Amino acid sequence: MNKYSNNSNSSPALVADIGGTNARFALADKGKVFEEKVLAVKDFNHPRDAIQTYFEDVGIKAEQGCIAVACPVHTNPIQLTNSHWQFFPDSLSKELNFSRLKIINDFTALSLAVPLMKEQDVIKFGSGIVIDEKPIGVLGPGTGLGMSGLIHSNSGWIPLQGEGGHISYSAQTELEIEVVRILHKEFPRVSAERILTGDGIQRLYRTMCIINDKATENLQPHQIAELAISKKDDSCVSAMDIFAAALGDVAGDLGLVLGAFGGIYLGGGIVSKHHKYFIQSSLRRRFENKGRFDSYMRDIPTFIIHCELSALKGCAVAIGE
C-alpha cells in the first residue's frame, strides 16, 4: 500500500504533468490512465485555462485531481520554474470545482510510477541487479533537471521531494574545467541544471564553439544532439560528450547518497529519445567512477525510462486511483 492511497472517490480523476514546455493531461480510474492529451504551455495564460480546454476536448469533467509540476511545491503561489504559469492551489481547486486537488513535484510523480513499471517501460544498461525494497533514485534532464527518490517503509514507498537538480556541477577533466571557467562569466555558481537541460545543451555547444574558436549557429538542442550522434560537428560532439558525462556523474552521486540498490532511473524526453547514444556514451563509466567506491557503484543498476505516461501514472498513485 502506498501512503498516498485514498479510494474515497470512484469517479475518474484528472492527472497532469506540467513542465516548462508541455502540459500532459489524462484521466485516471482504477489503476488505468486514459484520454491522454498534450497541450503547449505557451498557448495558455493559466493552467486553469488548459485544464478546462482539456475537459472540453475529452467531454469529461473530473471532480478531483493530482497535478505534477516542474518546480518546488511548498510555495504559495506555485511558480513554474521555466514557465510563465503561476497559480494558487486552493484557488485553482475552487475554480475547477474539485473536491480534492494534490500538487506534487514532477519527479516525485515519476518516482511513484517506478514500482509499477513493466519490463517494456525501461531499458537497462550497465551491471547491477535490482534488490527489492532498496532505495530507488530517479532523475532526468528536460526543461529543468528533475531529481527524486523512493524509500521503502512498512506502509509502502515514500517519495522524496527536493530540488536536487540545483546541486553544484563538478568538472572532472581539463576540458570540463575550461567549460566551467567560461560559464562562470555568465553564472556566479554553475549548478548541475545549468548543464543538464535543453538550455544546457545549447550552453555547452556555445561554450565549445568558443573553445574551438568557431562561429556558433542557432541550433536547437535536438539539432545539436543529432549532429553529435552523426559526428558531423566537433563542437556538438564535445557538447554532448560533456552532457552525458555530467549526467553520469550526477546520477552516480544520487546513487551514493541513497544507496540506490533498487536502481537509478533516468527519465525525461532527452534521454529517452536518444537512449542508444547515452547507453554507448561515457554515462555509465562516469556513473561508476567514484574512486574507492567504484565496485560499490558497479552493483547499482541503471535504467532509462521509456514510457511517456510514467508521471501521469505516478499522479494516479498519489491521488489513489
**What does the domain layout of the chain look like in residue ranges?**
13-111+311-319, 127-300
- In angstroms, rounded to a whole number, what is the distance separating the alpha carbons of residues 316 and 112? 9
SS3 label, residue 239: helix
CB 70 within 8 A of CB 46: no
In order along its 321 residues, the chain shows pLDDT tens digits of: 344 444 444 689 999 999 888 999 999 998 799 999 999 999 999 999 999 999 999 999 999 999 999 888 888 999 987 789 999 999 999 999 999 999 998 899 999 999 999 999 999 999 999 999 999 999 999 888 999 999 999 999 999 988 899 999 999 999 999 999 999 999 999 999 999 999 999 999 999 999 999 999 999 999 999 999 999 999 999 999 999 999 999 999 999 999 999 999 999 889 999 999 999 999 999 999 999 999 999 999 999 999 988 999 999 999 986
CB 310 within 8 A of CB 56: no
94: number of Cβ within 10 Å: 11
Degrees, nearest 5: CA angle 105-55-11? 75
- 200: cell is 544546457
Q: Which residue has the cell 485544464?
A: 51
Q: Which residue has the cell 574512486?
A: 291
This prediction has a pTM of 0.89
CATH for the stretch 13-111+311-319: 3.30.420.40
Topology given in CATH for the domain delimited by 127-300: Hexokinase; domain 1 (3.40.367)
DSSP string, 87-108: E-HHHHHHHTT-SEEEEEEHHH
CB 296 within 8 A of CB 264: no
